[in-house]
Structure 1
Amino acid sequence: METMASTASSASPATKAGIEPISDRVLPIMIALCIAGFIGMFCDTALNIALSDLMESLRVSASTVQWLTTGYLLTLGVLVPVSSFLMQWFTTRQLFTFSLAISIVGGVVAALSAGFSLLLIGRILQAVGIGILLPLIFNTILVIFPPERRGQALGTMGLVIMFAPSAGPTLAGLTIEYLSWNYIFWFTIPFLLVSLFVGIRYMQNISKITKPKIDVPSILLSTIGFGGIVFGFSHAGEGDGGWSDPVVIASLLIGVVSLLIFCFRQNALKQPMLNLQVFQYPMFVVGLLSVFLCFMIIMSTMLIFPMYFQGALAKTAMAAGLILLPGGIVNGLLAPVMGILYDKFGPRWLVIPGFLLICIVLWTMSGFDVDTSIGFIIGLHVLLMIGISMVMSPAQTNGLNQLPSHLHPDGTAFMNTLQ
């Protein structure tokens, strides 16, 4: 794995594109992005630990309350792939403002909801915001920072985005213990407002608006393809049918076929919605798969561990969140450190040992039972997060650095779609 700084000049791509230089705005822009990214990822996992309370307070079944997660993921699966297209139609400032505004509206709707339907609407509105925001965050960093500083910049963002899913269950557990689940949403509103105001004051357009032709079939195929796969995976966890459920099989089949047709169509278009040329860069593909695996592990632990702690070990929601907190803190603190090490040494000496550590820890975790000590669980979770921090940010930075600047929106869209 070797970095290829030659793929981009050390000068700001924004400057080369003729866009107003923003060197004096980099710090406030990063602050706005970090706050928004943290809250977006916090909302992704914070509600998981409250599902039992929601079933009781809203008087809904487990299969119904699951739609708070399924609906959220479906919306992300539909929106994130079209983010590259949106960045070519709307300015960075417009997209950032809209994503924050719709996230705030979604948070208020969810916080005020007294029934399941309104809460689901609030969650979907939040997903619309984060679906636009996440790819925008990474594309903005790629534009405002030269290649030799991207490792540190993406590492700093990794501190925020990786700490948020880990902090979500802990903060949500504390909230449920002393207040109610509604406050999980209320607490996010002030941070989103701060990010929105800072963004309105300092955010500038950092991408070239080309307004490519809207290809409706591509949007429909993308929506059916990614939506079908996300729904299939989500529905497989509901009921007793699992992966053999006809609905799951049909959903996955329709999703895969739609994506295949989508790919053929993108190759045939002069202005594709998602440019598949990114897959001509081998190190981008390696980075893409590495990030996908790491994020899958992170989100799996955020879902499975709380159920294991509360169901098998009879811990409270707050205790379950606190058990996960040390690993989340370590992962967050190491993210910028790994970014600096990547800028200095490259990805090889981080990614390979990181994957080895992850494999060893996951194999050991497969032996967890009701007699496993809490200290041992915390120690292994910390080691797992160390391994992930060694892989995720360096692999992501190395993969995106391989792409020429005009493919950065497509690269970030693919990475965020798989996540």
Structure 2
Amino acid sequence: MGNVTLAISVAPALGPAVSGLILQVGSWRMLFVVVLPIAALVTLFGMRKVENISEPQVSSIDWLSVSVAALGFGGLVYGLSLLGESGGKVGLGIGIVVAGVAAIVVFVIRQLKLQRTGVPLMDLRTLGHRAYGLSLALISIGFLAMLGSMILLPLYLQNMRGLSPLETGLLVMPGGLAMGLLGPTVGKMFDRFGSRPLVLPGSIGIVIALGGFTQVSMTMPYWQVLGLHALLMVSLAATFTPVFTLGMGALPPHLYSHGSSMLGTLQQVAAAFGTALVVTVMTARAGHLVADGVDAAAAELSGMKLAFGVAAALALVTIAVAAKLPRRIAAAGAQDGGAADQPTGS
């Protein structure tokens, strides 16, 4: 899991620097032109080289569940993004958010019904395993905080401080590389010490870093920005690898696929939700201050501070969750009820 964390963390760390270099010499459309052949090669080599090590099982896809999930989670994120826009879209945004929540409720009810026949799109019995549920909550909040900061920092550095896209990418690259390169080391430390000595300090570090970003100003030294970002990334590294391992290890084999898909889904939803949330908070705060006669730059800076503050407040939840995590996978299995391990079918 440490090696997996390295792979999925180094790429996003290099992304801003590579994107900044592309934007220095070409249009933003070039970003997609560069990614297209890479995606094609990944697809080609993946189909040829990745081996199926699991036992195929006869199953089916409930397309109603797929549609309701897309409408629910998509509506929730899109509606939230509308709340920060001007032009009288607040009412529309609230309506879409309510509709999205209603669709998610329908999705949950549908899965509970399908569980009785043994073919749910997403088996919610994974949530009956306490360690997995706690891990899922912590990872979701962690991704929300990470992606929220990743969208706010470039806005601050480029719009407020006047850095180029390349300079911005280079400034945030050390923290991302540290997060990725620490993955294998954190994995070994997890094997030796368990989860809590890593995840609890990591959660505290996330809150401290986001709290530090609430103090951004037009004169904050760049070394402080780099240091806070590095602290955030290192804290996330200390959190993600143990929590990924602990959460999936708490599940019985027949729920691995559902646990993995739920983890991946909520990662993406949390990332999108975090981006929409911080931008909405920042835009709403800045718009309110501008309407009161405050200078546009000062209003945007105040909005960024508030957005970082909201992210820090949400990250406080990770400390409480980390304190409840078992130290090791064996302990997680002992805490979960035996009934939750048994599949129920028709």
2:109 is equivalent to residue 261 of structure 1 = no
Out of 32, 57, 63, the residue aligned to residue 216 of structure 1 is 63
Deviations 1:141-186 (A, max 9, x none): xxxxxxxxxxxxx221211222222322211111111233343233
1:102-135 CA-partner distances (Å, limit 9, x unpaired): xxxxxxxxxxxxxxxxxxxxxxxxxxxxxxxxxx
Q: Equivalents in 2 of 1:237, 1:195: separation in Å?
A: 37
Tell me what 2:277 maps to: none
Residue 339 (structure 1) aligned to one of 162, 176, 187 = 187
Q: Quote the Cα distance in structure 1 between the aligned partners of 2:45 and 2:61.
A: 32
Query: Could you list the per-position Cα deviations for residues 329-383 of structure 1 after superposition, in whole angstroms to 9, with x for gaps in the alignment?
Result: 1111112221222222221110001111111121121111111010111011111
1:193: how far off? 4.3
Runs of 4 or more off by more than 6 Å in structure 1?
A: none
User: Where do residues 357-396 of structure 1 align in structure 2 (5 Å cutoff)?
Assistant: 357-396=205-244
Pairwise CA distance, 1:311: 1.2
- Match for residue 21 of structure 2 among 164, 171, 174: 174
Q: TM-score, normalised by structure 2?
A: 0.71
What residue is the counterpart of 1:355 in the other structure?
203
Query: RMSD between aligned alpha carbons?
Result: 1.9
Per the alignment, do residues 239 and 392 of structure 1 end up closer, same or farther by CA in structure 2, a change over 3 Å counting? farther
SS at match of 1:180: coil
String of CA shifts for 1:242-269, please: whole Å, max 9, x gaps. 8xx1122111111111211221221122
Instruction: Provide the rounded CA distance (Å) in 1 between the counterparts of 2:40 and 2:108.
Output: 38
Superposed, which structure 2 residues align to 1:158-307 within 5 Å? Answer: 158-239=5-86, 245-269=90-114, 270=117, 271-307=119-155
Aligned residues with identical type, % of pairs:
32
Paired with 1:328 and 1:164, the residues of 2 have a C-alpha distance of 9
| Secondary structure class of the residue paired with 1:329 | helix
Alpha-carbon separation, structure 1, partners of 2:253 and 2:112: 20
Maintained 8 Å contact 1:294/1:388: yes
Q: Does residue 405 of structure 1 match 2:253?
A: yes
- Scaled by the length of structure 1, the TM-score of the pair is 0.59
Structure 2 partner of 1:81: none
Aligned equivalent of 1:328: 176
Q: Write the deviation string for residues 73-96 of structure 1: whole angstroms up to 9, x where unpaired.
A: xxxxxxxxxxxxxxxxxxxxxxxx
Code of the aligned partner of 1:392 = F
Gaps of 5+ in 1: 1-153
CA–CA separation in structure 1 for the residues paired with 2:220 and 2:211: 15
Q: Which residue of 1 aligns with 2:282?
A: none
Aligned residues: 264
- Between the aligned partners of 1:363 and 1:335, the Cα distance in structure 2 is 24
1:194 offset after TM fit, Å? 4.1
- Which residue identity does 1:340 align to in structure 2? K
Gaps spanning 5+ residues in structure 2: where?
268-346
- Matched-pair contact (CA < 8 Å) for 1:166–1:302: no
CA contact (8 A) 1:165 1:302 kept: no
Alignment CA distance shift 1:285-1:168 (3 Å): same
Q: Give SS of 1:187's match.
A: helix
Partner of 2:339: none
Aligned equivalents of 1:217, 1:169: Cα separation in 2: 38
